[in-house]
Copies of this chain bind each other. A is one copy, B any other.
């Protein structure tokens, strides 16, 4: 399906800016607002960072994207897609998709009294590349 249609079907007008932000988010790996902004402003020189914020908020509201849970100070975003876990490398701060492990599927009423909508599973540790570098430099 075309990006244009993905946005339209969620009631989002498919402006050029929104298409580009959506496609960047889809292709990149859990980018921050600033990463999106820095990269797209080459193509769209008039782009404003506020627009990136606005657009991501819109995507999250319309359930096209989600903000990742992290413990560093800037948010990362991800396309809503097949469920998967995330691995947060504490050395390089990259976030990798882990499809071998999935967050448990929680029914909305699984926890007495609560209304559960979404589950995120995040692992923390050292990624393959950083492990290799550590070994080599010893």
Chain A residues within 8 Å of B, Cβ to Cβ: 67-71, 73, 75, 87-88, 90, 98, 100-101, 103-104, 106, 108, 110-111, 113-128, 131
- Beyond A106-B123, A115-B126, list 16 extra A-B contacts (CB 8 Å): A68-B71, A69-B120, A101-B104, A101-B106, A104-B104, A108-B125, A113-B127, A113-B128, A113-B131, A114-B127, A114-B128, A117-B124, A117-B126, A119-B123, A120-B122, A120-B123
Contact B120 A121 (CB under 8 A): yes
Q: Determine how close the nearest CB of chain B comes to the CB of A116; give it in whole angstroms.
A: 5
In-complex Cβ contact of A114 among B104, B114, B125 (8 A): B125
Residues of B within 8 A of A111 (CB): 87, 98, 100-101, 123
Residues of B within 8 A of A104 (CB): 101, 104, 121
